[in-house]
Amino acid sequence: MFKRVLSSVIDVNQSAFLGERSLLDSVLIANKTGDYLKKEKMSRVFVKVDFEKTYDLVDWKFLYYILRGLDFNCRWIK
């Protein structure tokens, strides 16, 4: 059941919490991009986000609402 809905709730660009992808992949890409921009002396804005703090701010009621809206079973959500 779970695998059937994954493609509809996980964006193709997400790299965390997936078997074939790693959060560290995104960190490495971000670091290489920053190095490239410095090396080429390109005038660009580059922002890196502290993902750890993002997970400290989960609105659990909203998450429950979204999961129910996607027809996830209450038992699975708990």
What would the pLDDT profile of 27-58 be if each residue is shown by its tens digit?
Answer: 788 888 888 888 888 777 767 666 666 556 77
* Residues 57, 58, 61, 63, CA torsion sign: positive
When divided into structural domains, the chain yields a total of 1
Share of the chain above pLDDT 90, in %: 1
Q: Which token pair is 77?
A: 């959500």
For the chain, what is the mean pLDDT?
Answer: 76
The residue segments making up the domain with residue 20 are 2-77
Instruction: Please tell me the distance from the alpha carbon of residue 50 to that of residue 30, in angstroms, as a whole number.
Output: 12
- Checking if the pLDDT of 68 tops 80, the result is yes
Question: Given this model, what pLDDT does residue 37 score?
Answer: 82
Q: Are 66 and 77 in contact (CB under 8 A)?
A: no
Global pTM? 0.39
User: In this model, does residue 2 exceed pLDDT 70?
Assistant: no
